[in-house]
Amino acid sequence: MKLSGKVFKYGANVDTDAIIPARYLNVSDPDELAKHCMEDIDTEFVSKVSKDDIIVATTNFGCGSSREHAPLAIKTVGVSCVVAKSFARIFMRNAINIGLPLLESAEAVDDTDAGDVLEVELESGKIVNTTKNQTFTAKAYPEFMLELIEAGGLVEYTKRKISAKG
Amino acid sequence: MTLAEKILAAHCGKDRVSPGQFISAKVDVVLSNDITAPIAIREFKKIGVKKVFDPAKVIMVADHFVPNKDIHSAEQAKILREFSREQGSIFFEVGQMGIEHVLLPEQGLVVPGDVIVGADSHTCTYGAVGAFATGMGSTDIASAMATGEIWMKVPPTIKFVYHGKAPKWVTGKDFILHTIGDIGVDGALYSAMEFTGPAIDKLSMDGRFTMSNMAIEAGAKAGLFRVDNKTEAYLQNRAKRPYTVYEADKDAEYAQVIEYDASKIEPQVAFPHLPSNTKPISKVGDIKIDQSVIGSCTNGRIQDLKIAADILQWQRVHKDVRCIIIPGTQDVYLEALRAGYIETFIRAGAVVSTPTCGPCLGGYMGILAEGEKCISTTNRNFVGRMGSTKSEVYLSNPAVAAASAILGRIANPEDIKE
């Protein structure tokens, strides 16, 4: 699958309170959550983001709370994938479980600026910055996580596992 | 094998596991709360099974916005209540509930050797009783509720050794803040932290819960302690199930060993906007505060309230400060009441609330306005964590938070004149 979109760039330790502030967590409707995505660090994000755009950030993206509302808000607002130097552990699980692709590439992050256009091939991990005409390769997923992604997320994977057990 | 590896191996039917290995582990407790359970229940229903794998192992606690702060929160809590009734699983109603990570150990629902998964990042708190406990998201919890198993990558373990004797006023909170200040908020990313050493042997159970609780603030998957006499004494008359005690092997392989001299650690304050942004109390300078919060899953236990009461006794909260004290559970509340702490707090001019996560995550019961500063015994000080994005949260132990409430500035407990 090939993804393409313009870049919103952030720094280190973008926490889940920044991605979706807790004051909005008294609902779990994805569309309601998406309205407040990134609100506390970028008040213009929701009005400027278009479908398929890409978030690029440095280290430890998604640190803090276990709230799945964070990747859900990012996915529902239309972001196609997140590229970072590293991801917080729970955020990574959550994103993969719900089908928000994450890519790890320090080089791509260093050489990409806000507003650049990236093209991402999920299968190969190839990231092309078409604005700067540069190509990068993201860290490969372990085999088990690829299985999860291919199944379409954890709910589908669990369904298959249960039906295989009969 | 390390303590974490021993527990995980026993839960996936293997003699040995090593870091990086993917396993499917059997779980002993599956936890969720009023923020994360509604999504977990929605995803559970999509999986298509009718019943949870074992109703005695599925626990839901409404604690974040409960007693319901508004109509939306009431609707969310209702989803948990109805699901738990239908499933016959464990639900703590208002009146019995407390902050989940204070409540579950207190009720003996988490025991040594367990694998516990919870849709709350501070689930790692239960490492204090020698369990492997880790936070996850709602869909993971849905899958665990359906199957009783969870996929996991075995983490490498970093061993932390605390030598020497902690000075007065230095608690588990200061050990962990000092550690996070040293290694950073991603210093233990994907790893298990194992806390050991002479200063840890002397540390109370409440202090250990505080340390395990904040393992996530270093990016860790779990933060574990070995079971000793203190753990056994805590579990006596509490543990609801028999348990197995695991020990790290003498030749266990650690990714890293990090050592500290506890006698050199001062009370710590984490400045905005990261828990790693720590300074010793002697280097804090003059910072006026508007609010002091004492409580949370980090510091809402009886020893925390005792420390606060000892400092607030015969004192008055500063006229420019709102001091909010929140016992972690009904039992903690009752014990504090019997010990006279609650009267001390009220006479000092503090407010005492029913158990709730409330202010810690900017939910309710102590939201900050623009420009306000709060000293808090909670675990996170991210931008906007307690309210306005232009407010500031400083993290500390209960002694510093109580002394600061009296003096109106971030203060060393030593500065309080008796």
Q: Which helix (H) or strand (E) holds B167?
A: none
B327 SS3 class: coil
CATH class of segment(s) B3-260: alpha beta
In angstroms, how far is CA B194 from the centroid of its own chain? 16
Quick one: what percent of chain A has pLDDT higher than 70? 99
Q: pLDDT means per 10 residues in chain B (418 residues)?
A: 98 97 97 98 96 98 97 98 98 97 98 98 98 98 98 97 97 98 97 98 98 98 98 98 98 98 98 98 98 98 98 98 98 98 98 98 97 98 97 98 98 90
Are the beta carbons of A142 and B363 separated by less than 8 Å? no
Topology agreement, domain B3-260 and domain B268-415: yes
Are the beta carbons of A65 and B137 separated by less than 8 Å? no
pLDDT at A114 over 90: yes
What ranges do the domains of chain B cover? Answer: 3-260, 268-415
pLDDT, tens only, A140-156:
888 888 889 889 899 99
A94 close to A114: Cβ distance less than 8 angstroms: no
pLDDT of res. A34:
97
B15 close to B24: Cβ distance less than 8 angstroms: no
pLDDT band at A166 (very low <50, low <70, confident <90, very high): low
Q: Does CATH place domain B268-415 in 3.10.20.30? A: no
pLDDT of res. B99:
98
Query: For chain B, how many residues are written?
Result: 418
Task: Give the other-Cβ count within 10 Å of B53's Cβ.
Answer: 16
Are the beta carbons of A26 and B137 separated by less than 8 Å? no
Write down the ipTM of this complex: 0.94
Preceding peptide of B280 cis, ω within 30°: no
A117 and B CB contact within 8 Å: no
Provide, as residue numbers in chain B, all residues whose Cβ is less than 8 Å from the Cβ of A144. 22, 151
Q: Which amino acid is at B212?
A: S
B98 close to B115: Cβ distance less than 8 angstroms: no
Kind of pairing between the strands at B322-325 and B351-352: parallel
For chain A, the three-class secondary structure string (H helix, E strand, C coil) is CEEEEEEEECCCCCEHHHHCCHHHCCCCCHHHHHCCCCCCCCCCHHHHCCCCCEEEECCCECECCCCCHHHHHHHHCCCCEEEECCECHHHHHHHHHHCCCEEECHHHHHCCCCCCEEEEECCCCEEEECCCCEEEECCCCCHHHHHHHHHCCHHHHHHHHHHHHC
Are the beta carbons of B46 and A23 separated by less than 8 Å? no
